[in-house]
Amino acid sequence: MAFYITTAISYVNGVPHLGHAYEAIATDVIARHRRQIGEDVFFLTGTDEHGEPVADAARAQGIEPQALADRNSARFKALMPQLEISNDFFIRTTDQQHKQRAAEVLQRVHDRGYTYEGTYEGWYCPRCADFKVENEILEGNRCPIHEIVLTREQEQNWFFRLSAFQEPLERLYAERPDFVMPAHRYNEARAFIGSGLEDVSLTRAHLSWGIEVPWDRSQVFYVWFDALLNYYTALWYARPGEDLTARYWPANFHVIGKDILKFHTVFWPALLMAAELELPRHVFVHGFLLAGDGRKMSKSLGNVLDPFEVLERYGADALRHYLLREVSFGQDGPVSPDGFQARYDAELANEYGNLAGRTLNMLERYCGGVVPEVATDAALREEFAGLFARVDELLGTAELSAALEEIWRHVRRLNRYVEENAPWALAKDPGRADELAGVLASLAEGLRAVTLALVPYMPVKTAALLAALGAGEQNERSFASHGWGGRVSALGPLFPKDPAPAA
C-alpha cells in the first residue's frame, strides 16, 4: 500500500531552528512507522525559496536571491541526516523541474477559467509574503505572526477565483470530517470557509524572484501557489527517469504548523480542484514549540533555541524523544534545556536505559548470554497484547505523544516486573532455575517489544539495542509466547548520564 507524507517546506530567508526540526521529526516518526508495518512510503521535505522574504533578505545581505537560497537550503538539507530524518527526496522550489511542472498546473487553472486580471490593494506582511484580512490584523496595523507593521500595497495582478470553490469546499468539509486533524483545526478551517471566501491574488507584478507566469511574462506567481505545488511536482522528478505521481498521489498526510492552516486547508484543496487533481486524504496541523517566554519560537522574535547543541551532545534520538514527549502533538507547549535534561535523566537514562542495561546484564550473568527458549509470562503477555494495535491506531491519526505514552507505560511495567520478580534472588536458589529462565525470557521479550515499538521514535538506539539482544531479525510486532534463543552481546549505557560532547 502506498503512503505519501510531507512536511511543509521551509523558507530560506532564515536558517533551521527547533520548530523546523520538530515538524521533520514528527513527520519522520509517522513515515518510519508506516514502513515498519510494510507500507510503500514516500516522504518528502524541502525548501521554499521564492518570494518577497527571500528577495528582501538577499538584498539586505548584498547577494543574489539564488545565492542566499543555495546557502540556506543546504543547511536545511544537512539537518535532515543529523535528525535521522528518513526523507526520500528533498525538493527545492528553485529546481528547474519544479518550476516547469508548477507553471503547467497553474496554466491549466488559467485555461479552465479560474483566473482573471484585477487590482489588488491590501495590508501586506513582507515576512509572511501575505496580504492580511481585516480581522487578523493586530492593533497598530501589525502582523499577527511577526508583529511588524504591515504595509499598504496596491498592484495589477492575476486573481485566483477562490470564491468559486465556496460550495465545493463546504461539501468537502461536510463529507470528510477527518480531512483536517485534530478536530479543533478542522473547525477553524471550516469556520474560515463559512465566513465567506474572497478571491485571492495569484501573481505578483513588483517582484521578479519567482516562477514566471506563462501567459503574462511581466508577472511571477505568488510564492504560496508555487510552494504548495511542491507536493505535486516532486513526484514527477524525485526519481530520475521515473514519474512517481501515479504511485503516490494524492498525499495521505500533509503535516504542517498552525500558522499555515489557511493555505493548506482552504487554498490548497481549491487549487487542486481548479486543476482537476485529487485532494490529499488528511492535513495534520501541529502546534508551536514555545520558548521560555511563552511566545512562539521564531527567528523574527529572536528567541530561538538551538537544536544543534542537544544533537551534538545527546544525539538525535534524545531530541526526538524529548520533543514528542514534552509537547502533546497537536498542541502548543514550552520546551527548555532544563526540561530536556529532566526527561533525559528520568526517562532515557533511568527508565529505559537502565531497563536495557540490567536486562542485558542479567541475561549474560544468569543465562550464559542466551535468551532462554522457554515460555514467557502469561500475565505479562496479556498486558502487552494490545500494545501494537493501539500504537497503530494512534499513529494512524498522528497522535504521536499519545502513542509514545502508551509505549512508555509498558517500559515502566517492565521495570516493575524486574522489581516484582527479583531475578537476583531467584539466581541464588538452584531450585528456581526454571522460574529464573521464564522471568528473563519474559524480560527479553518485553524489552524487544517496547524497543520495536520505539523504532520510529528512536531509530539509532533501538537498532543498537535490538542487535545487542540478538533480536535483529525478530521483527514480529507482538509479545511472543516463547523466548527466541538469541545470543546477547554487550552494549555500553544506552543513554549515558552526562555524556561528553561528540568529538
By CB under 6 A, the residues from 445 to 464 that bind ligand MSP are none
- Looking at residue 88, the DSSP 8-state letter turns out to be S
Q: Contact with ligand MSP (CB under 6 A): which of 3, 4, 20, 25?
A: 20
Say if residue 250 is preceded by a cis peptide, omega within 30 of 0: yes
Minimum Å gap between C-beta 29 and ligand MSP is 15
Q: Contact with ligand MSP (CB under 6 A): which of 70, 199, 259, 393?
A: 259
Closer residue to ligand MSP (CB): 8 or 274: 8
**For cell 493555505, what's the residue?**
263
**For cell 506567481, what's the residue?**
221
Using the contact rule CB under 6 A, the part of the chain among 61-69, 288-296, 399-407, 417-425 near ligand MSP is 288-296
Q: Which residue's beta carbon is nearest to the bound ligand MSP?
A: 257
Q: CB within 8 A of 104, min separation 6: which ones?
A: none
Number of residues that bind ligand MSP (CB under 6 A): 21
Minimum Å gap between C-beta 477 and ligand MSP is 30
Q: Is residue 11 close enough to count as binding ligand MSP by CB under 6 A?
A: yes
Closer residue to ligand MSP (CB): 31 or 387: 31
What is the rounded distance in angstroms from the CA atom of residue 288 to the CA atom of residue 257?
A: 7
Beta strands across the sheet bearing 200-201: 130-132, 115-125, 151-160, 200-201
Specify which residues 296 forms β-bridges with. Answer: 290
What is the end-to-end Cα distance of the chain in Å, rounded?
A: 42
Q: Is the dihedral of CA 127, 131, 133, 134 positive or negative?
A: positive
Closer residue to ligand MSP (CB): 82 or 474: 82
By CB under 6 A, the residues from 220 to 249 that bind ligand MSP are 227-228, 230
The pattern of x and - marking residues 177 through 216 that bind ligand MSP according to CB under 6 A reads: ----------------------------------------
Using the contact rule CB under 6 A, the part of the chain among 20-28, 83-91, 450-458, 466-474 near ligand MSP is 20-28
Minimum Å gap between C-beta 60 and ligand MSP is 18
Give the type of residue at 503: A
Element (H, E) at 82: helix 65-82
Q: Is residue 327 close enough to count as binding ligand MSP by CB under 6 A?
A: no
Minimum Å gap between C-beta 51 and ligand MSP is 8
- Count of all residues that appear for the chain in the document: 503
Torsion of CA 48, 52, 53, 58, to 10 degrees: 100
Q: Contact with ligand MSP (CB under 6 A): which of 120, 123, 253, 288?
A: 288
Q: Is residue 262 close enough to count as binding ligand MSP by CB under 6 A?
A: no
Give the type of residue at 253: F
Q: Is residue 298 close enough to count as binding ligand MSP by CB under 6 A?
A: yes
- Residues serving a catalytic function are 17, 20, 125, 128, 143, 146, 296, 299
Q: How would you classify the pairing of strands 253-257 and 282-286? A: parallel
What is the rounded distance in angstroms from the CA atom of residue 229 to the CA atom of residue 70?
A: 20
Q: Is residue 347 close enough to count as binding ligand MSP by CB under 6 A?
A: no
Closer residue to ligand MSP (CB): 297 or 395: 297
Q: Is residue 297 close enough to count as binding ligand MSP by CB under 6 A?
A: yes
What is the rounded distance in angstroms from the CA atom of residue 468 to the CA atom of residue 489?
A: 5
Element (H, E) at 104: helix 96-111
Q: Contact with ligand MSP (CB under 6 A): which of 4, 19, 161, 441?
A: 19
Closer residue to ligand MSP (CB): 129 or 403: 129
By CB under 6 A, the residues from 38 to 57 that bind ligand MSP are 48
Minimum Å gap between C-beta 162 and ligand MSP is 17
What is the rounded distance in angstroms from the CA atom of residue 409 to the CA atom of residue 454?
A: 12
Torsion of CA 15, 19, 24, 25, to 10 degrees: 130
Q: Is residue 257 close enough to count as binding ligand MSP by CB under 6 A?
A: yes
Q: CB within 8 A of 21, min separation 6: which ones?
A: 79, 83, 307, 319, 323
Long-range contacts of 206-210 (CB under 8 A, 24+ apart): 206/155, 207/51, 207/52, 207/55, 208/55, 209/50, 209/51, 209/52, 209/54, 209/55, 209/58, 209/65, 210/50, 210/51
Using the contact rule CB under 6 A, the part of the chain among 191-199, 257-265, 336-344, 348-356 near ligand MSP is 257-265
Minimum Å gap between C-beta 259 and ligand MSP is 5
* Binding residues vs ligand MSP (CB under 6 A): 8-11, 19-20, 22-23, 48, 227-228, 230, 256-257, 259-260, 288-289, 296-298
